[in-house]
Copies of this chain bind each other. A is one copy, B any other.
Amino acid sequence: MASLGAELTGVEPGACEIRLPYQAGLSQQHGYFHAGALSAIADSAGGYAAYTLMEADESVLAVEFKVNLLAPARGDIGDAAVARARVVRSGRTLTVCQIEVFVERDGQETLCALMQQTVIRMAGRPDTA
């Protein structure tokens, strides 16, 4: 995330927000945020939201996610992208998160991606990052 220029802008139990200011290198051929960049911050936000509910000696790893990219023509050209994740179900082994990604432009937010993600609990494996 650091290499993308993303920053953690909010975290509480079961929720997380990550913000990615616009950079030229992250756009794709039409001038939008690249789907890969939007997915990367959504995936990270979901993983972090899940991690807030783990014990001290546990970490998390995403096992799968699905993302819908919404209306690029209207939304994805912007000043920043903001991913907001919340845990929908926290199970013993698997946690399911839902993540919305908004593009900010002149102070207004437009929903531009929607993700469902599954994360696995890694017991006895604290996060050392």
The chain A residues found within 8 Å of chain B, CB to CB, are: 2-4, 25-26, 28-30, 34-37, 39-41, 43-44, 59, 61-72, 88-89, 91, 93-94, 96, 98, 111, 114, 116, 118, 120, 127-129
Q: Are B66 and A65 in contact (CB under 8 A)?
A: yes
Q: Which residue of B lies closest to A62 (CB)?
A: B35
Q: Give Cα distance in the complex from A30 to B129, angstroms.
A: 8
Q: Give Cα distance in the complex from A36 to B101, angstroms.
A: 14
14 intermolecular pairs with C-beta atoms under 8 Å apart: A3-B26, A4-B36, A29-B127, A29-B128, A30-B59, A34-B40, A35-B43, A39-B43, A64-B67, A64-B116, A64-B118, A70-B88, A96-B114, A114-B116
Copy tally for this chain in the complex stands at 4
Taking CB atoms, residues of chain B closer than 8 Å to A34 are: 40
Q: Which residue of B lies closest to A68 (CB)?
A: B64
